[in-house]
Structures are given as structure tokens and as C-alpha cells.
């Protein structure tokens, strides 16, 4: 491999000759060979949006000459078009605060701008990563801004549509199953009848509630600390820079981002991301519970509940022929477990931040964006490959309903709780139906019994 030699405050560094990144990125690559996992591309895109907005704002403020600024903007456009994606190479686990990520972006944009101006990579007299690409900025205000932008776009463009799709799929099943009467269950024991449609209506409502929560927290992400530079005071940024930069961000994203009045608050704590992490955990808990319920309802198919049939997507056993498992629901469970665990790691990372800056933001960024991504994909898959194809096992539903002892609850206003309990217990011990026991005990006439014990009337 051919190399070029770059110099920084620590000395000389060998950088691959064809790389657009520079010495600081190379040092990060050499020092942090930890996981092989790279930062989300959505964060890189958002960071480049910030850099492009900064270049335009700096040119307008007279802080960056138009020749360099135009080259930086063109380099940003190329990255946003999907080019140079292999040049963003830092590991997730790296130096604190995201400086490696910021410098990786700065160096790639600087070197691409240099080549656009017919210079050679590494000749930072033409375009400098810090002096020009990073003008009016610090990692400490741009990283939180890029993280909030990337999370907002990922939520509004991906996760919320996925959740709404699941809510719609569950509502369709609620309508489809609206007349299917079944045994309700509390404490995993038989309870009074309900319709399968009512059960799925409940699931749809739970998902709808998480959509509302996600929409609320997403609005908090619009408040950016851009222009705070190192500690929130705005040192080295012109007065017009922040307003000009956020104006460009709004134009590029089509979203109503704005500069916070309290940059110290956002840079120290970034509680909007903490709130988002909590909502992602809530979504996971709710979705996992629904997946668990479907697995219970499809259990068997002959020695379990077996009231619904989930779509068969692949063979379920390497030894038992013909076995089919609730694979999509199991996948969703595992994704939800992962997100719940990542949320706890994020909590600890937030708690461990000190004074004017949280140095653990690279981990927070990875956990949050990874969680959004896998939840989006898992929920879309769950909707299309599981929920949409659910069918009922009418024979099992009717068999369970016939033997349901909780229907005696409908008699209690007429005969009292104690007598109704005695009827249920007698039916359980003798194996008789409720109706047979009631007739034996002569509690009321057959016609009244038929009316009161009718499960359709009870729902």
C-alpha cells in the first residue's frame, strides 16, 4: 500500500495515499481497534448537513472565503449523494465526545475539497480540516446537533411510519375478528368471554400510544445547540453564524430545527436523547408483550392454546419433522431485549457525563441510532410477515368457549356470587357444563339460562 505522510501536534503519521481522511482519523483507527462496528451512516449524513450549513453560514458572515467554501459545499453534496461512504472509518468505541467522528468528517471534506481545487490530499494550506471545515464549530456543539438531527429524521422517516403500519395491521385484524367470540384470560386462567377483535383492538391502542409518545419526544430534538462551540459560550463563532446555519439545516431537511436559547443545557445534558431512549425502551416493552401474547395464543397447535395460526415462514426444528415455530414473533422479542439493554447502557452513559460535556456521546449515539434502526426493521417485518397473515383456529376457539366456567359471572346479579361460585366449582369437579349444573340445581329455567350464558351476549 502506498502512503502519504501527514503531521499533527503529536508528530508524523502514515496515511493511505488514496484515503480522504487524514492524520487524526488514522490515529483513531490505529488506537481503537475495538469492535469493528462503525457509527451509523445516518449520523454521518447529519454531520455533513451541519458542515454544509456551517460553510454556507460562514461564507455569508465573511468568515470563510467563497472559493474554499464552495469546494466544501460541493464535497458535502457528494457525501450526501452516497459517495465516499467508505472513508468514515472510526470504531464506535473511541475517544470521548465524538472528536474522532467530527475530525473524520472534517478531514474527508477537506481533502475532497482540496482535490476539487486541483490540489493534492494532505495539502491543508488549500483547505484545512480545522480552520475551514470546522470554522465557528466545536465537536461539543456539532456532535449533539448532528445526533439530534439524525435521530429526528430516523424517527419521523422510518420508525413512526413502521409503528403506524403495525397499528394499522392490528386494527385490520381487529375488524376481521370482530365477531369471533373467545375465552378471555386473566392470570393465564380462563376469564369471561370477549371477541378476538377486542383483543387486537387493545394491541392497536398500545402501539398507537407509543406513536404519540414518540411524536412528542421528537419535537424536543428540534432544539439545537449549534453555535455554542466549546462550552456553550459561542467563542470563535460570529453573531450571525448560528442563525444562518440553522436556516440552511431547515432548508436541507424540511424540518423546523431551531437554535436553543440555553446552549449550556443541551450541551451538558442532551436530555432529549435520554427521553428518546426511554420511549424506545417503552416501545420495546409493549411490542415484546404483544409478541409474547401471539406466541401464547398460537401455542400447540394441539397441546397448547392454539386459537390463532401465525404465518409459517420457515421449518422450526432440525429433528422434529413438520414443526413450525412463531419465528417472526421470536425475532421481535430478541430485538426488543437488545433495545432494552442498550437503553440501560445509555442511562449509565448519561449519568456519567461531567460538567460542561458528556464525553460518552459516541456510545449514546450508537445505542440510540442502532435501536431505532433495528426496531424499525423488526416492526416492519412483524407487521408484514406475521400480523397481516394471522388466521383463526375456529375449532379450538369454540371448544375452549364451550368449556369456559367464567361465563357463570353473568348469573351473579340474579343468584349471587356464592351460589355462582358453587356452580362453577361443581362444573369443574364433575366435568359437566355450566348449563347442566344449573339445570341440576334448578337455579333458573332453560330459556333464561340460554340467554344469560350466551357468550355473544356477554361480550
132 included as an active-site residue: no
pLDDT category of residue 286 using cuts at 50, 70 and 90: very high
* 25-54: average pLDDT: 97
Same domain, 61 and 167: no
**pLDDT tens per residue, range 394-427:** 999 999 998 899 999 999 999 999 999 999 999 9
Same domain, 97 and 223: no
**pLDDT tens per residue, range 173-186:** 999 999 999 999 99
Catalytic residue among 145, 187, 215, 383: 187
pLDDT of residue 63: 97
Same domain, 62 and 191: no
pLDDT of residue 390: 98
317 included as an active-site residue: yes
Same domain, 50 and 105: yes
Same domain, 115 and 200: no
Q: Please count the other Cβ atoms lying within 10 Å of the Cβ belonging to residue 390.
A: 21
Same domain, 168 and 63: no
Same domain, 422 and 382: no
> Sign of torsion, CA 41 46 49 55?
negative
Give residues with Cβ within 8 angstroms of 360, minimum separation 6: 96, 349, 350, 352, 353
Domain boundary among 358, 376, 395: 395
Catalytic residue among 317, 327, 371, 384: 317
Same domain, 182 and 270: yes
pLDDT of residue 403: 87
pLDDT category of residue 150 using cuts at 50, 70 and 90: very high
Same domain, 358 and 420: no
CATH of residue 335's domain is 1.20.200.10
Number of domain units in the chain: 3
Residue 1 predicted with pLDDT over 90: no
Domain boundary among 395, 416, 439: 395
Give residues with Cβ within 8 angstroms of 46, minimum separation 6: 146, 147, 149, 150, 153
* 110-124: average pLDDT: 98
* 271-277: average pLDDT: 97
CATH of residue 121's domain is 1.10.275.10
pLDDT of residue 315: 93
Residue 99 predicted with pLDDT over 90: yes
Domain boundary among 356, 374, 395: 395
CATH of residue 421's domain is 1.10.40.30
pLDDT of residue 301: 87
Q: What is the mean pLDDT of the chain?
A: 96
pLDDT category of residue 327 using cuts at 50, 70 and 90: very high
Cα 442 to Cα 85: distance, rounded to the nearest angstrom: 80
* 127-138: average pLDDT: 98
**pLDDT tens per residue, range 295-319:** 999 999 889 999 999 999 999 999 9
pLDDT category of residue 219 using cuts at 50, 70 and 90: very high
Domain that residue 431 falls in: 405-458
Whether 247 is in a domain gets the answer no
Host H or E run for residue 210: helix 196-220
Whether 339 is in a domain gets the answer yes
257, 205 Cβ separation under 8 angstroms: no
pLDDT of residue 181: 97
Cell 427521553 belongs to 275
**pLDDT tens per residue, range 339-378:** 999 999 999 999 999 999 999 999 999 999 999 999 999 9
Amino acid at each position: 500500500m502506498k502512503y502519504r505522510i501527514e503531521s499533527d501536534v503529536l508528530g508524523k503519521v502514515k496515511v493511505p495515499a488514496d484515503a480522504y481522511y487524514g492524520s487524526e482519523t488514522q490515529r483513531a483507527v490505529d488506537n481503537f481497534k475495538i469492535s469493528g462496528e462503525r457509527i451509523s451512516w445516518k449520523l454521518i449524513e447529519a454531520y455533513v448537513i451541519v458542515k454544509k450549513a456551517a460553510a454556507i453560514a460562514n461564507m455569508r458572515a465573511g468568515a470563510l472565503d467563497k472559493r474554499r467554501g464552495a469546494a466544501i459545499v460541493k464535497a458535502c453534496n457528494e457525501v450526501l449523494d452516497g459517495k465516499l461512504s467508505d472513508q468514515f472509518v472510526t470504531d464506535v468505541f473511541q475517544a470521548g465526545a465524538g472528536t474522532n467522528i467530527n475530525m473524520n468528517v472534517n478531514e474527508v471534506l477537506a481533502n475532497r475539497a482540496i482535490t476539487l481545487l486541483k490540489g493534492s490530499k494532505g495539502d491543508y494550506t488549500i483547505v484545512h480540516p480545522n480552520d475551514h471545515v470546522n470554522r465557528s464549530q466545536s465537536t461539543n456543539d456539532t456532535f449533539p446537533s448532528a445526533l439530534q438531527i439524525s435521530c429526528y429524521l430516523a424517527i419521523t422517516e422510518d420508525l413512526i411510519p413502521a409503528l403506524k403500519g403495525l397499528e394499522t395491521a392490528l386494527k385490520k385484524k381487529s375488524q376481521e375478528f370482530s365477531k369471533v367470540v373467545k375465552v378471555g384470560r386473566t392470570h393465564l386462567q380462563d376469564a369471561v368471554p370477549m371477541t378476538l377483535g377486542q383483543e387486537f383492538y387493545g394491541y392497536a391502542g398500545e402501539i398507537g400510544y407509543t406513536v404519540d409518545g414518540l411524536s412528542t419526544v421528537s419535537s424536543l430534538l428540534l432544539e439545537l445547540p449549534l453555535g455554542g462551540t466549546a462550552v456553550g459560550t459561542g467563542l470563535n463563532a460570529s453573531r450571525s453564524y448560528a442563525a444562518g446555519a440553522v436556516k440552511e439545516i431547515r432548508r436541507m431537511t424540511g424540518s423546523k430545527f431551531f437554535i436553543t436559547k440555553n446552549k449550556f443545557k443541551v450541551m451538558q445534558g442532551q436530555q432529549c436523547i435520554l427521553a428518546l431512549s426511554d420511549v424506545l425502551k417503552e416501545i420495546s416493552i409493549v411490542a415484546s408483550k404483544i409478541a409474547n401474547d401471539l406466541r401464547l395464543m398460537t401455542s400447540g397447535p394441539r397441546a397448547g392454546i392454539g386459537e390463532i395460526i401465525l404465518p409459517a415462514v420457515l421449518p422450526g426444528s432440525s429433528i422434529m419433522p413438520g414443526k413450525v415455530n412463531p419465528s417472526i414473533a421470536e425475532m421481535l422479542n430478541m430485538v426488543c431485549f437488545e433495545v432494552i439493554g442498550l437503553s440501560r447502557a445509555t442511562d449509565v452513559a448519561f449519568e456519567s457525563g461531567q460538567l460542561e460535556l458528556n464525553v460518552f456521546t459516541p456510545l449514546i449515539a450508537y445505542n440510540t441510532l442502532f435501536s431505532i434502526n433495528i426496531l424499525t426493521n423488526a416492526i416492519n417485518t412483524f407487521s408484514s410477515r406475521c400480523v397481516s397473515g394471522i388466521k383463526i383456529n375456529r375449532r379450538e376457539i369454540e371448544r375452549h368457549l364451550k368449556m369456559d366456567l367464567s361465563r357463570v359471572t353473568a348469573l351473579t346479579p340474579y343468584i349471587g356470587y356464592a351460589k355462582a361460585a358453587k356452580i362453577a366449582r361443581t362444573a369443574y369437579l364433575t366435568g359437566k357444563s355450566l348449563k347442566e349444573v344449573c339445570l341440576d340445581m334448578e337455579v333458573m329455567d332453560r330459556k333464561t339460562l340460554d340467554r344469560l350464558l350466551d357468550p355473544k351476549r356477554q361480550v
